[in-house]
Amino acid sequence: MKEICDIMEKFADAKINKTYLKVCAPMVRYSKVHFRTLVRNFNADLCFTPMILADSFCQNSKARANEFMTTTTDFPVIAQFAANNRDDFVDASKLVYPYVDGVDLNCGCPQKWAMKDGYGCSLLSKPEIIYDIVKGLRNVLPNKFSISVKIRLLNDIKKTVILCQQLEKCGVTFLTIHGRTIAQKSSGPVDINGLKEVREALSVPMVANGGVKNLNDANHLYEVVKCSGVMAAGGLLSNPALFSGITKTPLSCVKMWMELKNKNIERITFQCYHHHLVFMLEKVLTKQQKQIFNHLSTFESVDDFILNNLFENSIVDFHYKHELGNFTECQFPDQITMKHCTKCRTCGKSVHYCVCNKYDYSTTHGNFFISHINADDGLDYMDSNIFDEPI
Q: What is the CA radius of gyration of the chain?
A: 20
Q: Say which residue, 211 or 348, is predicted with more confidence.
A: 211
Average pLDDT over residues 261-290: 94
pLDDT band at 385 (very low <50, low <70, confident <90, very high): very low
Say which range, 113-127, 130-144, 261-275, 346-360, has the weakest mean pLDDT: 346-360
Q: Say which residue, 161 or 111, is predicted with more confidence.
A: 161
Residue-level pLDDT at 382: 34
Phi, psi of 314, rounded to the nearest 5 degrees: -145, 150
pLDDT at 386 over 80: no
Q: Residue 109 catalytic?
A: yes
Cα 69 to chain center, whole Å? 13
Residue 336: CB atoms within 10 A of its CB come to 14
For the segment 67-95, what is each residue's pLDDT rounded down to a tens digit? 999 999 999 999 999 999 999 999 999 99
pLDDT at 1 over 60: yes
Residue-level pLDDT at 372: 32
pLDDT at 7 over 60: yes
For the segment 171-201, what is each residue's pLDDT rounded down to a tens digit? 999 999 999 988 886 778 899 999 999 999 9
| Residue from 109, 121, 272, 344 carrying the catalytic annotation | 109
pLDDT at 274 over 50: yes
pLDDT at 368 over 80: no
Longest dimension (CA), the chain: 60
pLDDT at 116 over 70: yes
pLDDT at 121 over 90: no
Residue-level pLDDT at 346: 55
Domain boundaries, the chain: 7-250+323-332, 335-371
Distance CA 50, CA 34 (A): 12
For the segment 207-225, what is each residue's pLDDT rounded down to a tens digit? 999 999 999 999 999 999 9
Dihedral (Cα; 157, 163, 165, 170), 10-degree rounding: -170
Residue-level pLDDT at 341: 74
Residue 40: CB atoms within 10 A of its CB come to 25
Q: Which CATH number fits domain 7-250+323-332: 3.20.20.70, 3.20.20.80, 3.40.50.300, 3.50.50.60?
A: 3.20.20.70
Q: Say which residue, 30 or 371, is predicted with more confidence.
A: 30
Residue-level pLDDT at 344: 58
Interacting residues of 260 by C-beta distance below 8 A, sequence separation 6+:
34, 37, 38, 324
Distance CA 82, CA 96 (A): 14
- List the alpha helices (DSSP H) in 234-375: 234-238, 251-263, 270-280, 287-293, 299-309, 334-340
Instruction: Give residue 29's region: left, alpha or beta (phi > 0; psi -120 to 50).
Output: left
Residue-level pLDDT at 354: 47
Distance CA 80, CA 97 (A): 12
Interacting residues of 378 by C-beta distance below 8 A, sequence separation 6+:
185, 186, 187, 233, 234, 384
Residue-level pLDDT at 315: 74
For the segment 154-175, what is each residue's pLDDT rounded down to a tens digit? 999 999 999 999 999 999 999 9
Distance CA 343, CA 87 (A): 15
Phi, psi of 226, rounded to the nearest 5 degrees: 60, 40
Residue-level pLDDT at 235: 95
pLDDT at 356 over 60: no
pLDDT at 328 over 50: yes
For the segment 291-304, what is each residue's pLDDT rounded down to a tens digit? 999 999 999 999 99
Average pLDDT over residues 251-264: 95
For the segment 33-63, what is each residue's pLDDT rounded down to a tens digit? 999 999 999 999 999 999 999 999 999 888 8
Interacting residues of 174 by C-beta distance below 8 A, sequence separation 6+:
7, 8, 11, 146, 148, 204, 205, 206, 207, 228, 229
